[in-house]
Structure 1
């Protein structure tokens, strides 16, 4: 199966369909499923993801849209999220699942995507009309309402074009989030004369702020003694990294990112502070403590256990595409509803056109460099440790040495893999890191990696996870093999639920409740991939290079690394 990547420039908007363009290409025997597939074809959809059954699979295949069949509905949604975020939402990520148990099993994935603000078109089939509300039938359009941006069911086949238009319009505009359109199976089989209906592709509209608001925002930043930019995923969604770099250099202002926004600002840039996650580099703590004004750009400013909180004494300026974010979790001095790139361009233009003076705040670059050097000096013994079992930080270090960050997309799973990886890995290219920091469901990283590879087949894609996470989704490693999505997965095995003993000390002491067992490299081989287990730190780099070579040759690979449990985390010890 071949999948072509199509990374579009952020300025490209969906064009209107030609007036004569109709859905009559399939002839007079067109049914509801054909209507949906025809619209997906016009929208340039490259694949339809799902499990285990949907009338849309055949209808789409008839129009040369291949299916990506996973092993679970949840991973299907995770793949769609990875695809949507890697393409910055410029390409439709479409998921379909079977009504009833399929939709029920997809719930966790959609909840994750909602928290990650991933624009996914979710098209579950539904029970036949008239029986959807009969207990215990699971009605998706009722039950998913609080974890989607828009959630409706089709009741008449002739309404399909306008409802698909409504769904895709909401995907392309405003805050990114999943949208759901439930498709009853009897409606999908119902015939429709398509000759009278014209489907027009929705445009993408980019909001921007009032010039006076921008001038006020800039004035506050220029008056600040130690401002900091806190950049979120909205920078990536708006393809605004270039503008953010120009803005930071113009004002000589340091930039940190949210976990979801990691890679939105190049982390090898002299003004980069790193990622403000639960675990983080010392540069983040130093400059957020010192800051008097924080510009939160393209972030929801959501309070989370996995995101560094902002102290009450900071003046908060907030730029977001969603008005519902303003004042949601933090009191803000000024809030602006705008696309991140539009706001950056307006601020840059304001500063240049008004010839505003940039205050001298000292040698900020040297200050950042000095703090980062001290941080790395402290943690280098962990990163280069020769202990057996292997230190998880040694795994992080060897990944950093083995891959080219300009040609690689990395992600990680929840828990310790995230907290040990994120503070050290330098994401230098926009979209080269799929981070997450709100709902953190174990196992999601595997699907994210598969979706990233689906979006960018030329990239090397690496996923770091623990054994508990692999236990939840590991069989979908076979999806990578069957669907020709060669990724590298690293599984750190220490035979425990890392960090969980502290939350259940009695159960752990009396019954070993945090213990796990098993080996994972043999599973990868049994599923048709390359598998290798490493127990010595000296063997780790050669094993990674062998696995990367296999990936380059088109074979999915898994390296199992026997590690020790490591409770020490940057910023938390």
Structure 2
């Protein structure tokens, strides 16, 4: 049976389990989404449409893909307004599907703005659908990118009046997504370096969250008896009430970052910016980088040892190798005591502010009271950018994955 291309498009999203689509203001597929039973959330601006979908992908760690539509076509102002939000998703490696109106055949002469070319630098892939029957193929490829490899946004351009296609001749099946495991030789080398280290540090990035590897991370950290530091975006990947946690920022995190002789990174790009750590005296440390993306290797720092693969599969392999070499793991009571004392000293600095009665109110007092009433195993906390984010992420103790965003 023949169906309109936009309705077929909407059905593919529905089959992928997309629960809703955020939008602003118009798109050729919006009405079709409604006709096919996919709810639409109307935002007040293009950037918000992208940001809401982006946030959904982040909160679910990519298990569900956020989808949005924005206005484009010959009137490309909407997609131009959305550029900053898409660029942020790209910079943060967030899987997100952006749908916009493409410029139809023969209409490119009416515009000098090439949407696809403009967005190639901030997306994993741009798909420009030019025939109705190719809708399933393009959506299939889009979700392959969204569910495989390093996460990132994808843009699909759907021209208006694309026509119809036969759904029976061009069926669609949901995309699984694929993972790649590490080279066993690289795993052995990494574990050998780890066991030879005097003061190793486990440095955790957001890739652990997207891989669904938080349980494997706890198991590996306990097996190896390593202090665990996370980037800001990975806050919550390792429970911060765990005896091996050294948090995400502040004097305690800084102490262990400076002290380490081997920095053992998993799921992090190691790119020094506002949301991760600059590695002090990096040239004096041995860096082991376990990442899904070879572009991260030797980018910001010299990587002495690399393990390329999905974070979950990598942690499983590392744990198996470490278990073989250590006879079931190590014990390090001195390290646990060092972390306990460092945490106590760290919190002693902030406790007067967390309990302050000064006026105007100290922002840390708000956070202190918040921590008294929230159940950290049942709560999700986020903060505005700037000082609020920095203060909250420093003192709020996150116990569950994505308990802080």
Q: What TM-score comes out, normalization by structure 2 length?
A: 0.95
Q: Which residue of 1 aligns with 2:91?
A: 115
- Of 137, 144, 169, the match for 1:169: 144
Q: Which residue of 1 aligns with 2:374?
A: 403
- 1:254 and 1:61 mapped to 2: Cα distance? 50
Q: Structure 2 unaligned runs (5+)?
A: none
- 2:390 and 2:61 mapped to 1: Cα distance? 24
- 2:343 and 2:150 mapped to 1: Cα distance? 34
Deviations 1:446-466 (A, max 9, x none): xxxxxxxxxxxxxxxxxxxxx
The offset of 1:358, in angstroms, is 5.4
Q: Does structure 1 residue 232 correspond to structure 2 residue 214?
A: no
* Secondary structure in structure 2 of the residue aligned to 1:88: coil
- 1:284 and 1:109 mapped to 2: Cα distance? 30
Q: Which residue of 2 aligns with 1:281?
A: 250
Question: CA RMSD of the aligned region, Å?
Answer: 1.6
The offset of 1:130, in angstroms, is 2.4
- 2:307 and 2:100 mapped to 1: Cα distance? 36
Deviations 1:38-90 (A, max 9, x none): 11111111111111112222211222110111111111111111110111111
Q: Which residue of 1 aligns with 2:260?
A: 291
- 1:299 and 1:307 mapped to 2: Cα distance? 9
Q: Matched residue pairs, number?
A: 400
Q: Which residue of 2 aligns with 1:378?
A: 349
- 2:52 and 2:61 mapped to 1: Cα distance? 14
Q: Structure 1 unaligned runs (5+)?
A: 1-26, 435-573
- Of 246, 269, 276, the match for 1:307: 276
Q: Does structure 1 residue 183 correspond to structure 2 residue 146?
A: no
Q: Does structure 1 residue 266 correspond to structure 2 residue 239?
A: yes
Is the 1:281–1:423 Cα contact (8 Å) retained in structure 2? Answer: yes
Is the 1:283–1:371 Cα contact (8 Å) retained in structure 2? Answer: yes
* Secondary structure in structure 1 of the residue aligned to 2:247: strand
After superposition, residues 450-489 of structure 1 pair within 5 angstroms as none
- Of 111, 114, 123, the match for 1:148: 123
Q: Does structure 1 residue 245 correspond to structure 2 residue 218?
A: yes
The offset of 1:141, in angstroms, is 1.3
- 2:399 and 2:333 mapped to 1: Cα distance? 26
Structure 1 runs (4+) deviating above 3 angstroms are 132-136, 353-362
Q: Does structure 1 residue 106 correspond to structure 2 residue 82?
A: yes
Change (3 A) 1:82 1:178: same
* Secondary structure in structure 2 of the residue aligned to 1:387: coil
- 1:81 and 1:225 mapped to 2: Cα distance? 41
- 2:67 and 2:115 mapped to 1: Cα distance? 16
Change (3 A) 1:82 1:388: same
- 1:333 and 1:429 mapped to 2: Cα distance? 32
Q: Does structure 1 residue 202 correspond to structure 2 residue 202?
A: no
After superposition, residues 544-563 of structure 1 pair within 5 angstroms as none
- Of 186, 191, 197, the match for 1:213: 186
After superposition, residues 483-522 of structure 1 pair within 5 angstroms as none
- 1:161 and 1:227 mapped to 2: Cα distance? 48
